[in-house]
Structures are given as structure tokens and as C-alpha cells.
Structure 1
Amino acid sequence: MTRSLRILYIALFLGLLLALGIWSLTAFGNFNRTEQMTLLNGKWAKAVETHYDDEFPIKRLGTNIWAALDFKVFNEGRPGVILGKDQWLYTDEEFDPVANSEQIEAENFALIRGVRDQLKQHGVQLVMAIVPAKARLYPEHIGAQTPASLHADLYQQFHAQAQQAGIVAPDLLAPLQQAKQQGQVFLRTDTHWTPMGAEVVAQNLSKTIAAQMPLNGTPQQYQTAAVKTEPYKGDLTTFLPLDPLFSNLLPKPDDLQQRATTVVNSSADSSSDAGDAALFANNDIPVALVGTSYSANPHWNFLGALQQSLKSDVVNYAEDGHGPILPMLKYLQTDAFKNSPPQVLIWEFPERYLPMKNDLSEFDPKWVANLKKSSDTNNQNLAVGQSN
């Protein structure tokens, strides 16, 4: 290499570094500093570093290229997603094996029985909405990778365990399988059900509740209307980091029809209102709902579908991103539950969470142990009673 070529090579290299450096400074255009971020406590420097790392153009370029290679060459995404056929995506939680799954299932179901007992002590009737896996409802779109044997009969086993424990848990698999002939009950690119799927579940839960534990009070009329239909990029597309360079490779967004449920104003006179107040005097909250993002996220309108089907107000204690068990344990410790327990509590519980480990470190270990122990004691008493 001649001296001139070396100088040219060095100049091009330095020019490239300078261009990339200037380009990367654009990342600070949308950086927002809060009052808590100061130089002295180090939070400002950490926030700048994190923001720069997330927005660094070369990192994004490398991420996009690598994701595109995985997607097109190996038909894979990042851990968290399983690529199916026909642009369908599935969560890998419905496919992967789980270490010590039998022990985890036993521990989680002991907590479920303990919750049942806690609710019973407060006069609350538990109704479990065991949500079938998306892979179970739409196996025709699964690609080469199939669910591990753990998931083969998980829904049926979970449902049978609930029945054996005396927990009201209507079968939701058959109604959803039937409903999918008329429309989509789960989103193609998302973990969750569609508003139609949520409505099917709500209707079946309300039939069970009406037959076995009619709600107190005068029915309240609700109406649901379609708001708008918009393209919706499901949560599973986040495991395909192809934006912005290879956005064209992403599965086509779902068409999500938003729904809204509102109460119908009653023309009843004041004497009727007084009668309603008397009926609800001993039980101000007819129905409570605890669960996951299937219940918490307003996109699916599960709360509204329940209100319309039950013809009753429903108080929602579901949480997004914490699974079904943690929100329930939190609810049991609230003043709302202790002071104003509902007549019926609906616990929305996706089947895939039964063999999943929960971090219960935020709860008193003795309290959690007593929950499990109370269920064991009740089972022993039940066995003794049956033997006699």
C-alpha cells in the first residue's frame, strides 16, 4: 500500500467515525431529563448511557440485519416467539418444556386451593376462567416446531383438577373452538384473544354464574358497540426486531376491531333506585375480576363483555404483565377484599401459567405457606369425610 493509499484509508476511516459520531448524536434529540437525574447521584449519566445504547444507529443496524437473517434463513425470531405458518406467531411459553414442571404445578395449584379457601371464608364464590392456549385453539397454523409434551393435555388436566377441588370452572375450549368458525378468537400476531374471543368467554361464564349462583340485585343493562377497526401490531412482533430497515418482512398487522361497553341509562323512578340500594346493601360488589392482561388490557373489552353478559357491574383488579397468581394474592391483602368482598370472583387464568414459577418474594412467606397449608388441611378433612 502506497503512502497516498494509506493516507486515503486513514482519512476514510476517520471520516466514517466522524459521520457515525454525528449521526449518533441525533439520539439525544428525544432524550428527556427528569428532576431525579443529577450528576451527583449518577442517575443522569446512567440515563444518558442507556438512552444512547438503545438509540445508537449502528446497534439498530446490526440488530435489524441479524434479525432479518434469523427470520429469512432460519425461520426464527428472538427467544419469546415461535414462528408459525401463514404469518401466525405464538408465544414460546406454550411450546417450551419447563424444568420441574410437576412440582411447580403442584405448588401453584396448592395456592389456587388456598385462594379458594380464603374466598370461601369471606363468603365469595370463586369461578375460574381457564383460558386455552392459542396453540391449542389454532394448531393448524403451527409450523415445524410443536409444543412439548408438557403442554399436550395441560388444559384438560388443569380443568379436571379444578373440578376435583370443587372449583367452578366452565369449559371454555369447546365454545372457543366452535366460535372460531364464525370469526377469529385469537389475534394472529399477538398472545391475546380478540374482542370476539373475550365475548365468547364472557357469555359462557355468565351462563354458568346464572345457573349456579344467581347474582343479587336488579340486573343492569349494558350495550357494546364497535368503535373502530385499525391495524394492530401484536406483542409478539417485538421479538422480531426488524424495524425500521426490514419492516416489510414483518407479518401483516392484525385488523383489531375495538369495542366499547357503556351502561344503559335506566328510566326507573327513585323508588326503584331505593329498592336496588336495599338489595345491594349486604353486598355492594356483585362481581370482581382478577387476572392477567387478557382482562386488564382494554383492547379486548373483556370487562365490558362480562358486564353486558352478567348484566352487572364488575370491578376489575387484573394486572398487566404479572401473570394470574400475583394479582390474586395482592387482591386478597387489599382493604377492598377484606371490607367489601364480592359475591362472585372471576379468576381469569391462562393454562400456560400453571407450570410457570412465580416470584412471591414480595409476600410474607408465612402467609403464603399458610395458604398452601390450609388447602392441604381441607383436602385431608375431605378425604376423612368421604371415608366415613
Structure 2
Amino acid sequence: MTQTKTTTMTNSFLTQTCIDAASPDTKRRRFLMALAAIPLAGAISLPRTARAAAAGAVPKTAGATALIEGRDRWLFPGWESLTEDSTAACLNVVDLIGRVANKMAARSIHCAVVIAPLKARACADKLAEGTTLSTAVAGRYSALVARAKAIGLDLVDGEAALARVDTQEDATYIRADYHWSAHTAEAQADATAERLIASGALHGEKGGATKLGDWTEERNYGDLAELLPPERKRVIGKDRFIVRQTDSDGDALTAATPVVQVVGNSMVQPYLGFPQKLSNALERPVGLKWTFGDVGPWKTLLDYLESPAFKATPPQAIVWQFNEGQMMSGPGAVGQWDVASVMADDAWLARVTKALG
């Protein structure tokens, strides 16, 4: 069994415990958990060894048989069905999100929702010959956007944002990884910034924006490739992770109060640049609370709303991020979230209501 050691990172704002694993396969988590709740105002430092392939995006039971291999050595998560019609369940979840957004609005907090589109639809040209999406799955994202519009929920059109990505510079998703690319993360952040500005929810003077570094490239195995047997993993090969150069000042973190708070999973982790780009586009400090995908968006939001930071200084807006492949699962979805995160919808909503005051 791999032994882990616990390291405490401290600065003037943050004392956070992070887990550093001895195994190379788990080093991708190193330091990332320590960055999961920091405000991103000014330049942020991230260790060069940090990996976009966050292990928690992949179900603990997933293995090589849970993968779909496409053209040009592309990999897709097989646990996200390409055929099952879950649209009705997804729309029910959108309605629940809308109820929470209304409760936030009553506290003068604007809620903008970001849903990461299904990789298999975004990169359908890379699916193997004969592998196609059902009509229901192909049209599901549009149905989510339509429902959000109907109930007055501010939902960023993630598929429209994908069209902004220059695919001559980078793919929209990482070839053998679950995550979208850093260029896509930034396109989504730009689209989110536009929605927040248009909402009129942000007030006060601008200032405290994150500075963006130059683009650089790293080569690592994607998290989906890590599920393969060694010989097949070698065939799939390493991916190009094109990310922003990080600041060289070590652990320099700033303590500005966030005007906007991002709450989500590893799609919005600092390594891929979503919160930094959002801060830069808004010219305001942005906070971040992210957890790995098996924790789920419900528990992550609840943890933030019940935190001392929220109680002390509520933000003007919350950006709540989801994955489309999990949109059919509410707070009580046993088997989708880790056991500690599962709770009945009514119980979860009651705690959110109490936390919002």
C-alpha cells in the first residue's frame, strides 16, 4: 500500500493541509488540494509539477473497460453514456439549481452556472467509426440551455464557448484525459465574464485582477490513459498539456476578498486557468472552491456556503460549475458521489437555505 505524508502549507491568508503521495501515479494531486479554496487576486503561483489529470474526475471503479477508444488514440470516459436518454432527469436538476439561484438572489448574490459539455459531443469527430451519439444525447445540452432560459437561470452556453477555441492552437479537450484544455477553460471563463458583466450584479471599483503568464507546454499521461494496462498506456502515449506559465515567486498568494466565487470540480482547478482568466477578464479578485469530481457539485457548494469565509464576506456572484455527464445526478445520487457527499435532496436544500440565511 502506498504511504502518504501530510504537509501543511501556510501563508498570511491560508493554512491548508495537502496530501503528497509517494507514488508517481498519485502525485498529480500534490498541492492542488491546498489551492482549492484560495482567492485569486494578483498573480498566483502553482508548482510546475501540478497535473491537470486530477484523479478524482475518474470514478474509483473505472478501469480500462470503462474507456472508449476513438480515432488517433483519443480516449473518452465510457461511464458517460452516449445513448441513454437522461434528459428528463437533467432538466429536474436544472430546476433544483434554479431554486438555489433564487435563494442566492434573495441574498443579493447572483448565480451563474457553467456546465462543461460532454467530451464525446465536443470531439465527436474523434470517436471511432460507427460510434455515434443518440439523438437524445446529441441534443441534451441544448435542452439544458433552453430550460435554464425558461426558468430565468443564468447559464453560460458552454457549447457556444467551445466554438471560440482556435483548434489550430489546441484541442478543445485533452486527447487522453477527461478534462477540457486550458484554452477551452479560458474561453469558458471569457463567456462567464460576459454573462456576469451583462447581469449588472458586480459593483464597486475594479482592481485586483489576476495577471496571466505566457503559454507553455508540458507532456504527461492523461488521467484516462492512466487507467490502461501498461502496454496499452505506452501505445496511447503522453499528452500535450498547454498551460499558462506560472509566477516564479514561489508561494506568493494574495488575500484580497473575492468579488466573485467559483465553486466547482477539477475543470476549474488553477492548473487549467479558468479562475485566473475569469479574474483577469472581470478585473476583480476571484475566489475558488473546487473538489474532485467524486465529491460532486452539491457538497462542494454546501461546504462553501457553510464556511466562515462565506459568512464573513459573501461574494457579489457565485459561479457554480457542473459536468454535463453528471447532470442527471442530484445530491442523493448513491453511487455517483462518494458516500460522505450523498444526502437527500430536501436535507441538502434545507442546509443550503440555512447557510444562505
TM-score strictly above 0.5:
yes
Higher normalized contact order (CA 8 Å, seq sep 6+, divided by chain length): 2
Q: Given the superposition, is the C-alpha separation of residues 335 and 220 from structure 1 closer, same or farther in structure 2, using an over 3 Å criterion?
A: closer
| Residue 301, structure 1, aligned to residue 273, structure 2 | yes
Indicate the SS of the match to 1:119. helix
Q: TM-score, normalised by structure 1?
A: 0.63
**Higher mean C-alpha deviation, range 128-137 or range 147-156:** 147-156
Does the CA contact (< 8 Å) of 1:291 and 1:324 recur in 2? Answer: yes
**What is the CA–CA distance in structure 1 between the aligned matches of 2:342 and 2:81, rounded to whole Å?**
30
Letter in 2 for 1:210: I
**Higher mean C-alpha deviation, range 189-198 or range 363-372:** 363-372
What corresponds to 2:153 in structure 1? Answer: 167
Does the CA contact (< 8 Å) of 2:220 and 2:241 recur in 1? Answer: yes
Give 1:223's match in structure 2, choosing from 192, 211, 228.
211
Q: Given the superposition, is the C-alpha separation of residues 363 and 85 from structure 1 closer, same or farther in structure 2, using an over 3 Å criterion?
A: closer
| Residue 203, structure 1, aligned to residue 175, structure 2 | no
**What is the CA–CA distance in structure 1 between the aligned matches of 2:75 and 2:233, rounded to whole Å?**
16
**What is the CA–CA distance in structure 1 between the aligned matches of 2:283 and 2:117, rounded to whole Å?**
25
**Alpha-carbon deviations, 1:310-355, whole Å to 9, x = none?**
1111110121122323212322332332332110111122222211
**Alpha-carbon deviations, 1:272-317, whole Å to 9, x = none?**
xxxxxxxx9xxx5310001111013x32121211111111111101
What corresponds to 2:317 in structure 1? Answer: 344
What corresponds to 1:234 in structure 2? Answer: 222
Q: Given the superposition, is the C-alpha separation of residues 161 and 175 from structure 1 closer, same or farther in structure 2, using an over 3 Å criterion?
A: same
Letter in 2 for 1:111: L
Q: CA deviation at 1:181?
A: 3.8
* Structure index of larger Rg: 1
Does the CA contact (< 8 Å) of 1:81 and 1:89 recur in 2? Answer: yes
Q: Percent identity over the alignment?
A: 24
Q: CA deviation at 1:122?
A: 1.8
Q: CA deviation at 1:97?
A: 5.0
What corresponds to 2:53 in structure 1? Answer: none
Q: Given the superposition, is the C-alpha separation of residues 288 and 369 from structure 1 closer, same or farther in structure 2, using an over 3 Å criterion?
A: closer
Q: Which runs of 5+ in 1 are unaligned?
A: 1-29, 35-50, 52-76, 263-279, 375-388
Q: Given the superposition, is the C-alpha separation of residues 355 and 79 from structure 1 closer, same or farther in structure 2, using an over 3 Å criterion?
A: farther
**What is the CA–CA distance in structure 1 between the aligned matches of 2:245 and 2:208, rounded to whole Å?**
16
Q: Which structure features the higher share of strand residues?
A: 2
Q: CA deviation at 1:369?
A: 5.4
Matches within 5 A, 1:70-85: 78-85=64-71
Q: Given the superposition, is the C-alpha separation of residues 246 and 82 from structure 1 closer, same or farther in structure 2, using an over 3 Å criterion?
A: closer
What corresponds to 2:127 in structure 1? Answer: 142
Does the CA contact (< 8 Å) of 1:111 and 1:372 recur in 2? Answer: no
Letter in 1 for 2:217: T
Q: Which runs of 5+ in 2 are unaligned?
A: 6-22, 24-62, 248-255
**What is the CA–CA distance in structure 2 between the aligned matches of 1:103 and 1:239, rounded to whole Å?**
31
Give 1:315's match in structure 2, choosing from 281, 284, 287.
287
| Residue 325, structure 1, aligned to residue 313, structure 2 | no
**What is the CA–CA distance in structure 2 between the aligned matches of 1:190 and 1:31, rounded to whole Å?**
24
Q: Given the superposition, is the C-alpha separation of residues 79 and 333 from structure 1 closer, same or farther in structure 2, using an over 3 Å criterion?
A: farther
Q: CA deviation at 1:190?
A: 0.8
Q: Given the superposition, is the C-alpha separation of residues 102 and 88 from structure 1 closer, same or farther in structure 2, using an over 3 Å criterion?
A: closer
**What is the CA–CA distance in structure 2 between the aligned matches of 1:162 and 1:88, rounded to whole Å?**
32
Does the CA contact (< 8 Å) of 2:117 and 2:141 recur in 1? Answer: yes
| Residue 128, structure 1, aligned to residue 108, structure 2 | no
Q: CA deviation at 1:371?
A: 7.8
**Alpha-carbon deviations, 1:205-233, whole Å to 9, x = none?**
11222222244222334321136412121
**What is the CA–CA distance in structure 2 between the aligned matches of 1:189 and 1:33, rounded to whole Å?**
27
Does the CA contact (< 8 Å) of 1:114 and 1:373 recur in 2? Answer: no
Give 2:348's match in structure 1, choosing from 334, 353, 368.
368
Does the CA contact (< 8 Å) of 1:324 and 1:353 recur in 2? Answer: no
Indicate the SS of the match to 2:212. strand
Q: Given the superposition, is the C-alpha separation of residues 335 and 292 from structure 1 closer, same or farther in structure 2, using an over 3 Å criterion?
A: same
RMSD: 3.2
Indicate the SS of the match to 1:79. helix
Q: CA deviation at 1:145?
A: 2.6
Indicate the SS of the match to 1:307. helix
Equivalenced residue count is 280
Letter in 2 for 1:257: I
